[in-house]
Amino acid sequence: MWLALCAVILGTFVTVLNNSLINVAIPQMTNVFGSTTDMMQWVLTGYSLAAAIVIPLSGFLGDRFGTKKLFIIALAGFTISSVLCGLAWSDISLIAFRVLQGMSGGVLSPLSMTIIYGIVPKDKVGTALGIWGIASMAAPAIGPTVSGYLIDFLSWRWLFFISVPFGIFAVTAGIFLLKESPLKQASFDIGGGILSVIFFSTLLLALGQGNKEGWTSFYIVGLLFVSFFSLLLLIWVESGAEDPLLDLRLFKNPIFTLSVICGGLVMAGLMGGSFLVPLYLQNVQGLTPIDTGIIMIPQGVLMALMMPLSGRLFDKIGVAPVAISGLLLMSTTTYELQHLAINTPIPWLTVLLAIRGMGIGLCMMPITTAGMNSVPKELIGRGSSLSNVLRQVAGTMSIAIFTTIMTNRQIFHVRNIADGIPSDSFLATQVLSQISSALAQMGTDAATATGGASAVLVGIMQKEALNSAIADTFLISALPLFICIPCVFLFIKRRTAKTKEKMVPAKETAV
C-alpha cells in the first residue's frame, strides 16, 4: 500500500514541480523567442485551460479504462510533452506543447486522489493524503529557486528536461506498484462533456484575461455571457442525465458541499498570498527571483512537514480541531501581512510566512478529506474530479479578483499621495533639487536632470502606492479564511447529528 502511494506521490510531484518552475521563467522565454509578455502568458494560460477541460473527464476515464492504466498513460504523456516543450523552436510551438502537457497533467491530481481512496483503508486515508500532500507543497517550495539556478547556469530548456527522469521513474513505479481498479461500463455523457468544456474554458479565459482586456470589454463580457448560459445548460443536462459526467447530485451531500465551499475559500486565501508575496519582494523590495524563492522556502517546507501530521491528527481527532487550528494560523498571519512596508525586515517576513505555511499544511488536507470520506466509494472518482475542478476555478477567480483590487488600490493611493503634496511644497522642491544636482554631477544637462528628477520622484510615489495596494489586498485576502472558520464548525454539528440518528434506533431495540 505504502509503496503504491510512493508511485502516486512521484506522479504528483513531477507535475506540480514543472508548473512552479515555469512561472519564474516567462521573462527569459519571452526574450529568447523575441515574443511579447502577453503572448508568452499563454504558456501558463494554455496549460490551465487544458487542465480545467480534462479534469471533469478524469472520473469517467478512470471508471472506463481503469485508474492504473489512465495514470500511466497520463504520466507518460506528461513526460513526452515535457521533452517536446524543451525542444520547442518558437513561442507558438511551446504554447501548443504546453496545452498537451496540461491535458495529461490535469488528469493526474484528481486521479491520484481516486487511487489513494482505492488502495488505502478508510481509517488511514487522512494520513495517506497528508503524505501525498507533501509532493504538492514541496514542489512549489523549491521550484522558484531551482528555476533561477537552471536559468542562470544552464538554459530555460532544462526547466522541462529536469521533469523527464522523474516522469520515467514515476511511470516505471506505477507499472510495478499499482494495481488495476475494477472497470465500470459507463456511457459517455456527450452533452455534459461539451457543455463542461465550454463553461470552464470560457470562464477561466475570462478570469485570466479580464485585467488585461478590461472587464467591461466586449471580449470579456462575451466570454462571461457564454460561460453563464453554458453553466445553466450544464446544470439542466446533468440533473437529468442517467450517468452524468459531473455528478451534481453529490451536492445533496451536505458534508461534501461544505468541504467544497471551505476548500474554495482556503484556496482563495492561499492563492492571494502566493500571488502577492513574490510581487512585493520583487517589485517593492527589489529582490531577484532566486532571492524571492529562497525566502519562500521555509513556508513551503513547513507546509510539506505539516501535511502528514494533519493527516494523522485527522484520523485520530477529526476534521474540526485540526482545520480550525490551521485556519487560525493562516488567517491571522495573512491579516498581519497588511502591515508590510517598503523597509519591512526580511527575517520578520520569513518567520511570518513560515507560520502561515504551518497553517496551510494543517487545514488544507483535512477539509478535502472530510468531504471525500462522505462520498460513496463507487463515486470517489466523480467526487474527486468535481472537487478538484471547482478548487481550480476558485484559485483562478481569486487571482483575478485580487489583481483587480490591487490595481484599483494602487491608483487610489497614487492620487492620495499626489493630493497630499502641495504644488509649493518645500520638501518636494528640495528632493527634486537634490536629485537634479546628483544627476547633473554625473554629466547630465540641466533639462535632462530636471526631467530625470521628476521621473525618480514619480517612481518613489508609485512604489509607495504599490506597497500600500499590496497591503490592502492582503487584508482582503484574509477575509475568506476568517469566513471559513465558522463554516468548519458545521462539520461537528453534522457529525453529532449523524451519531444521534444512529444511537436512537439502538436504544429502542434494546428496550
pLDDT in tens, 127-151: 777 777 777 666 666 666 777 677 7
**pLDDT for residue 340 is more than 80:** yes
At 352, the amino acid letter reads L
Start-to-end C-alpha separation, the chain: 44
**Hey, what's the cell of 270?**
492561499
Residues 248-265 have pLDDT tens digits of 777 888 888 888 888 888
Residues 285-308, mean pLDDT to the nearest whole number: 78
Residues 312-339 have pLDDT tens digits of 787 777 777 888 888 898 888 888 888 8
Residue by residue, DSSP assigns 266-289 as HHHHHHHHHHHHHHHHHHTS---H
**Do the beta carbons of residue 481 and residue 269 sit within 8 Å?**
yes
Superfamily of domain 1-188: MFS general substrate transporter like domains (1.20.1250.20)
Among residues 110, 57, 78, 71, the alpha carbon closest in space to that of 14 is found at 78
Residue 395: the pLDDT is 77
Number of H helices, E strands in the chain: 18, 0
- Each domain of the chain, given as residue ranges in start order, spans 1-188, 189-242, 249-405+461-497, 412-460
Residues 6+ apart with CB under 8 A from 191: 237, 241
Residue 501: the pLDDT is 42
Cα(17)–Cα(101) distance, integer angstroms: 13
Residues 147, 150, 152, 156: is their CA dihedral positive or negative? negative
With H, G, I as helix, E, B as strand and everything else as coil, classify residue 245: coil
Farthest CA pair distance, the chain: 101
Cα(302)–Cα(298) distance, integer angstroms: 6
Same fold, 1-188 and 249-405+461-497: yes
Among residues 277, 385, 283, 295, the alpha carbon closest in space to that of 333 is found at 277
Residue by residue, DSSP assigns 77-146 as HHHHHHHHHHT--SHHHHHHHHHHHHHHHHHHHHHHHHHHHHHS-GGGHHHHHHHHHHHHHHHHHHHHHH
Cα(37)–Cα(298) distance, integer angstroms: 30
Residues 487-501, mean pLDDT to the nearest whole number: 58
The chain-wide mean pLDDT, for the chain, equals 76
Pick the CATH number of 249-405+461-497 from 2.60.40.10, 3.30.420.40, 3.90.180.10, 1.20.1250.20: 1.20.1250.20
Residues 6+ apart with CB under 8 A from 503: none
